[in-house]
A and B are shown apart, each in its own frame.
Chain A
Amino acid sequence: MASSYQSRPDQKASTAPLIHFASNNWNDAHDLDASDEDEAFYTADDDYLIHPKWQAMAIRTKNRIPRRIQRYFFIYIVLLIVSYVAWRVYLGPQWEHNREEVRKMDAELKEVYGQNVRHEFTDTIQLKTLDRELVPGAHEGNENRRLIFIGDVHGCREELEDLLKRVDFQESDDHLIFTGDMIAKGPDSPGVISLAQKYSASCVRGNHEDRVILSITEMDAHHVPLPGPEEDPSKMNDFMDEESFSHGDFKVRKLAKQLSKEQIQYLKECPLILKVGNVEGTGEMATVHGGLIPGIPLEEQDPFQCMNMRSIDLDTHIPKEDHSATPWEKFWNHRQKKLDPAERLTVVYGHDSKRGKNIKKYSKGLDTGCVNGGKLTALVVESGKESVISVSCKNYK
């Protein structure tokens, strides 16, 4: 407002009435805005961002806060920023992913894997049920019985013997159940089968047993025999030579030749799934090598998937051999908890040495990579009690 009139002239120089000093100069815009005096007057006030009154108040407040907290104030800010970034970049998406996974696991899909006819193959038994006599607490007199599930042995006979000693295996009271892949890779596959036969152990078929059995059938079926060691390799025509190396299963065939007829028969009689029955304290139990798809009866489970799955796609329920989708046991556990307690099933399995010992309420993963220098693991199930015991292995890789 001060700039809207002219400064008053020297009082002494004039006696004319004040009105006479009034001019129309104020109409000139330049003069109006460019008042140096005004600017000079206000610059001092504009020097500080915060009004001195507020500044004083801030200092008073600051003095009340302990020195240590003041000192760490900067660090607190940094931590806050870090946690915010972590949430946005990592935790948030993961939380979202988990929520999405749970939603998918709960979803009742209409068009889902497993509506086709159940596949049957020769020399393959889908399902067997364990003799009730062997189940702990099944009836009076067998309360002291134990079931000993053993993960992928892969021909490590010495380690298997160590493990049996460690669990104090008693032939009269205990029953052995192998979760598949007893053979291949390791040093003494025939020895492991002999031991299993000696104790009338139960078993399920693993992917390695499957390859050996299929390979034996293939060798038996061919119209031209495989070249024997005495035969002159130069005598053979190209195609025989190719075939003898073909199918990439030379190792498998070599292993198959080490096994006796009785041992092969033992392997052939291992079902894909073994129904253990109701164990006091644990409930219904079953054994399979790879895994199971929730919502499909044991009789209808796909043979290949039983032996080979590691994860499962939640949109289609198609299992995968690798870890690219949701772990099958995660889906299995989630679905079991939704079922009526009487319908729930605990699965003991092997095959997944990458995840190793993996004990959950309704799934017990026992493959701890013995043949690669890991451990050999047993799950001991007694009436109302279960425990996991391992022994170390040599590396046979």
Chain B
Amino acid sequence: MILFFLLLNFLLIFQSRLSQASPRVWKRDADIESLRGLTTANGDHSGKAGDPKGKYFHESTFHPHYDGRFAETVLSDPSIRRTHLTSLAQTYLRTMREIGAETWLMHGSLLGWWWNRRIMPWDSDIDVQVSERSIAFLAEYYNMTVHHFDIPASAEGPGKEKGRNYLLEVNPYYKNGSTDDWLNVIDARWIDMETGLFIDITTLRRNRTAEEEGIYGHMMCKDKHKYRENDIFSLRDSIFEGVPVKIPYAYTKLLEEEYGADALTKTEFERHHFEMENMEWVPDTDSPE
């Protein structure tokens, strides 16, 4: 009897040892299988098949600015696309503010904010950055969370009046801050689960290569953009598309460095002109196309 228990004990211990010793295989990405019930898409258009193995985020087979797990086609009507893009920005900014993750506008979105605090009509995406602490915070507590908003779904179709869902997905490779990891320059995404539109989120990191050389106060992103810490921080509070937003400290300087002086003075761009009376970009009526 005693012998039996000893044997059982031995077996149990051995088994547990065995299971601990063998590494568990963790699934690194959320493929369409794991999103069943959350997506209305019938097939996988994620573009995963054509991407290199180490790449976490995929761009859809039909357009680089759509997530193929949630959509099958592009939004053809530019005004509908713009409404979705606006909601995307508003919901993202509201959520980040609510959970206390530090995020701010950059690139084209910052230029849009500079002119009239709106997305520029011809801009196809929204550019934001987060701090290193914020991306860790999002990864630890908010990865793969679905955020529901009671905003009217503009698209037609059944079930769309029930509001909108957005997915926050963090790239596990965010921990690798090296620019050599060029497959994973995007650290997280805020994805519209109805249309497949998304916001690319990149982390602003301390430039450790520069710090090794004894140069401090420099920042970088995995997409190789470089900034001075004092130009980004401290952030300022403003409004973008009607919701509170953070703006980098030296906003004009950053825009001038990236786009040149023209971008701040020229009132004609991409077949639009800026009307000062209503502070709006208006499409040129006599444009050929």
B115, B262, B264: most-surrounded residue (chain A CB, <10 A): B264
Q: Is the interface of A mostly helix, strand, loop or mixed?
A: loop
Is A117 close to B, CB under 8 A? yes
Known A-B contacts A304-B250, A304-B252; A214 and B234 likewise in contact (beta carbons under 8 Å)? yes
Contact A243 B132 (CB under 8 A): yes
B236 CB, min distance to chain A CBs, angstroms: 5
For the complex, what is the distance from the CA of A317 to the CA of B70, rounded to whole Å? Answer: 47
Q: Mark B100-137, 1 if CB is under 8 A from A, else 0.
A: 11100000000000111100000000000001110011
One of A221-229, A330-338, A339-347 contacting the partner: A221-229
Contact of A120 with B by CB under 8 A = yes
Residues of A close to B101: CB separation below 8 A: 223
Q: A248-B233, A304-B251 known; A242 and B261 CB under 8 Å?
A: no
B253 in the interface, Cβ–Cβ < 8 Å?
Answer: yes
- Asked if A305 and B252 make an inter-chain contact with CB atoms under 8 angstroms apart, the answer reads yes
**Neighbouring B residues of A122 by C-beta, 8 Å:** 237-238
A304 cross-chain contacts in B, Cβ below 8 A: 249-252
- Contacting pair B132 A246 (CB below 8 A): yes
Shortest C-beta distance, B105 to chain A (Å), equals: 13
Contact A214 B131 (CB under 8 A): no
- Interface residues, chain A, CB within 8 Å of chain B? 111-113, 115-117, 119-123, 211, 214-215, 217-218, 221-224, 239-240, 242-243, 246-249, 252, 302, 304-305, 308, 313, 315-318, 321
What are 13 A-B contacts defined by CB distance under 8 Å? A115-B267, A117-B117, A121-B236, A121-B238, A211-B234, A215-B234, A218-B233, A221-B100, A239-B137, A246-B229, A248-B230, A249-B234, A304-B250
Q: Determine the distance from Cα of A243 to Cα of B238 in the docked complex, in whole angstroms.
A: 23
Q: Is B69 an interface residue (CB 8 A)?
A: no
Knowing A116-B264, A117-B117, A313-B261, say if A224 contacts B133 (CB, 8 Å).
yes
Q: How far is the CA of A119 from the CA of B238 in the complex (A)?
A: 8
Whether B163 is near chain A, meaning CB under 8 Å from some CB there, is no
Q: Is B164 an interface residue (CB 8 A)?
A: no
Using CB atoms, name the residue of chain A closest to B116. A117
Q: Which listed residue (A218, A252, A318) contacts B256, Cβ 8 A? A: A318
Using a Cβ–Cβ cut-off of 8 Å, how many residues does chain B contribute to the interface with A?
41
Chain A proximity of B226: nearest CB distance (Å): 15
Contacts of A302 in B (CB 8 A): 252
Nearest 8 pairs between A and B by C-beta?
A: A223-B100, A214-B234, A247-B233, A122-B237, A243-B133, A248-B229, A316-B261, A239-B136
Chain B residues closer than 8 Å to A240, beta-carbon distance = 133
Q: How far is the CA of A302 from the CA of B252 in the complex (A)?
A: 9
Q: Is residue B20 contacting chain A, with contact meaning CB distance below 8 A?
A: no
B21 sits at the interface (CB 8 A): no
Chain B contacts of A246 at CB under 8 A? 131-133, 206, 229, 233
Q: Give the distance to chain A from B112, nearest Cβ to Cβ, in Å.
A: 10
Instruction: Check A214–B236 contact: CB distance below 8 A.
Output: yes
Assuming A121-B236, A246-B133, A308-B250, what are 10 further A-B pairs, CB within 8 angstroms? Answer: A115-B265, A120-B238, A120-B239, A223-B101, A224-B133, A243-B131, A313-B261, A316-B261, A317-B265, A321-B250
Query: Judging by beta carbons under 8 Å apart, are A316 and B236 in contact?
Result: no
Contacts of A224 in B (CB 8 A): 133, 137
Q: Are A117 and B115 in contact (CB under 8 A)?
A: yes
Using Cβ atoms and an 8 Å threshold, which residues of chain B touch A242? 132-133, 206
Residues on B with C-beta less than 8 A from A321 are 250, 253
B28 at the interface (CB under 8 A from A): no
The answer to whether B230 and A316 touch across the interface, beta carbons within 8 angstroms, is no
Residues of A within 8 A of B206 (CB): 242, 246
Residue picked from B252, B256, B279, most chain A C-beta under 10 Å: B252
Expressed in whole angstroms, the Cα–Cα distance for A71 and B141 within the complex equals 93
Considering only residues 220-248 of chain B, those with a C-beta below 8 Å from chain A are: 229-230, 233-239, 247
Return chain A residues, CB-CB under 8 Å to B265.
111-113, 115, 316-318
State whether A223 touches B117 (Cβ < 8 A): no
The smallest C-beta distance from B99 to any residue of chain A, in angstroms, reads 7
Contact B253 A113 (CB under 8 A): no
> In this assembly, does B173 line the interface, its C-beta being within 8 Å of a C-beta of chain A?
no
B235 CB contact (under 8 Å) in A112, A218, A252, A305: A218
Smallest CB-CB separation from A124: which chain B residue?
A: B236
In the complex, the chain A residue whose C-beta lies closest to that of B118 is: A117
Nearest CB to that of B205 among chain A residues? A242
Residue-by-residue, is B62-85 near A (CB-CB < 8 Å gives 1, otherwise 0)? Answer: 000000000000000000000000
Whose C-beta in chain B lies nearest to the C-beta of A308? B250
User: Which residues of chain B are within 8 angstroms of A252 by Cβ–Cβ distance?
Assistant: 234
B235 cross-chain contacts in A, Cβ below 8 A: 214, 218
> Which of B131, B236, B249 has most A Cβ within 10 Å?
B236
- The reply to whether the CB of B266 lies closer than 8 angstroms to some CB of chain A is yes
On whether the beta carbons of A239 and B233 are closer than 8 Å, the reply is: no
